[in-house]
Amino acid sequence: MNQLINDAVMREQPPNITGKVLKETLDDGMPFDNSMKEVVETDNKAGFKPKITVFHCFNALSSTAGADSNEYDISAVRMPCSSMTREVFLLRAFEAGADAVVVMVCPEGDCRYMEGNIRAGKRVARVKKILDEIGLDGKRLNIYPVPEKDPNTIDRIIKQTVSDLAGLGPNPAS
Amino acid sequence: MIVGQQKPLTEIKAEVAPFSKLLILGCGTCVKTCFAGGEDEVATLASSLRLAFKKDGGQITIEELTVERQCEDEFIKEAAAAIARNDAVLSLACGAGVQMVANRYAKSPVLPGVNTTFIGILEKQGLFTEKCLGCGDCVLDVFAGICPVSRCSKKLMNGPCGGSHGGKCEVNPDTDCAWQLIIDRSKDFGQLGRLSTYVPPKDWRTSNAGGPRKLVREDHII
């Protein structure tokens, strides 16, 4: 079951990213590309403050309050189960200006409604394809299983998302 | 039901590109059941198109509406005001629905957003399979309720051929051999003997080979 969630992108411990480190770290361990560094610095100079929309099952995560920061804006959508993740909600988050959308679900076997996280994983995978087709890049949308009530996970995931956005830049359709 | 599949986004985008105000018109019957053109699909497609146009620096205004059935005049009347407000209609109905809308609203371009695929059933959630070709001369009584016209790759009326292996078709190993199914099912209710009767070649005049067909029910015409 987790494979389905993983297919849509699940990473191991995201790196700890702050300040200068942000500019020197790219996802997937790829060596830093100087041209990309320029983009990151340009974006920072231009004041690119990432907007991240988080859809989360409240059984997996009660709130996103622990991830607040001045470096990015977070909008949270609490759901009683991740099965309520619908394609159109994810797309509308991008229409509303999100640079990245993150879906947080219960881990394998932990969904109270049996298969909510599987359904969410499949819908995320479909919307990633739509985003690729549009040219927005499916990497802007990711799904992560979150161990119940783990206060550190949200922080790690958001930092990884911010790191990804350093390479992707702002949402070109916002 | 009629099973359809939404066209690729790039194809739809090219279709609607000449228009700045678009109505996406869904159909709440067959294509809703097969996740191609119901309310949810209308909303998802509208959002995808808005993002796609905005990303390219273009602009499009999209209105969304889903009627109960697009193949009935009574239902598409409800769309009159919305159609009048827009430059074009992108219909997410089957081909019949698209033409019904085009027929009623002669001054509006009506574009297809769905590829009508086949007449079939929901085998399980998310899996639709073809069961009928609409040949106009049903022979399911002869073949134990399994249609060789739509389900045998060679449309054999006196099968099986020599290409059935382990109950699967040689044309596509993912396809059950219709004749294996016919024989198994005939055995189940003791009618295997019926299959020894020669079935003459199918008369295709009742199919659409001679152009569009018409069904007249005088008892319902006032």
Q: How far apart are CA B137 and CA B150, in angstroms?
A: 12
ipTM of the prediction: 0.89
Inside any domain, residue B123 = no
Q: Under an 8 Å CB criterion, which residues of B touch A?
A: 8-10, 40, 43-44, 47-48, 50-52, 54-56
Inside any domain, residue B27 = yes
Domain edge (last residue) among B71, B91, B118: B118
DSSP 8-state secondary structure symbol assigned to residue B131? E
Average pLDDT over residues B149-156: 96
pLDDT value of position A47: 74
Domain edge (last residue) among B118, B149, B175: B118
Residue B122: is its pLDDT beyond 90?
Answer: yes
Same domain, B10 and B109: yes
pLDDT value of position A142: 98
Inside any domain, residue B85 = yes
pLDDT value of position B124: 94
Q: Under an 8 Å CB criterion, which residues of A touch B?
A: 86-88, 91-92, 94-95, 130, 133-136, 172-174
Q: In this structure, what token pair is assigned to residue B207? A: 């199919």
Q: Which residues of chain A have a CB within 8 Å of the CB of B125? A: none
pLDDT value of position A25: 32
Same domain, B81 and B150: no
Inside any domain, residue B221 = no
Same domain, B112 and B23: yes
Report the number of distinct structural domains present in chain B. Answer: 2
Same domain, B10 and B112: yes
Residue B68: is its pLDDT beyond 60?
Answer: yes
Residue B65 near residue B79, CB atoms below 8 Å: yes
Same domain, B81 and B159: no
The CATH number of the domain holding residue B98 is: 3.40.50.2300
Same domain, B97 and B186: no
Beta pairing class for A51-57 and A100-105? parallel
pLDDT band at A65 (very low <50, low <70, confident <90, very high): confident
Same domain, B74 and B164: no
Same domain, B35 and B114: yes
CB contact under 8 A, B40 and A87: yes
Q: How far apart are CA B222 and CA B218, in angstroms?
A: 8
Inside any domain, residue B167 = yes
Could you tell me which of A12, A4, A5 has the C-alpha nearest to residue A160?
A: A12
Domain edge (last residue) among B118, B150, B182: B118
Q: Which residues of A41-77 are buried (b: 16+ CB within 10 A; e: fewer)?
A: eebeeeebebbbbbbbbebbbeebeebeeeebebebb
Inside any domain, residue B91 = yes
Same domain, B100 and B51: yes
pLDDT value of position A46: 56
Residue A2 near residue A144, CB atoms below 8 Å: no
A66: distance to nearest CA of chain B, Å?
31
Inside any domain, residue B128 = no
pTM exceeds 0.90, yes or no: no
Residue A37: is its pLDDT beyond 60?
Answer: no
Same domain, B187 and B161: yes
Per-residue pLDDT tens for A123-135?
Answer: 999 999 999 999 9
Residue A16: is its pLDDT beyond 80?
Answer: no
Same domain, B181 and B149: yes
CB contact under 8 A, A88 and B47: yes
Per-residue pLDDT tens for A89-102?
Answer: 999 999 999 999 99
pLDDT band at A11 (very low <50, low <70, confident <90, very high): very low
Q: Which residue has the higher pLDDT, A43 or B188?
A: B188
Inside any domain, residue B67 = yes
Same domain, B80 and B160: no
Residue B50 structural domain = 2-118
Q: What are the two backbone dihedrals, phi and then psi, of residue A7, each rounded to the nearest 5 degrees? A: -55, -35
Closest chain A CA to residue B44 = A88
Length of chain A in residues, anyone?
A: 174
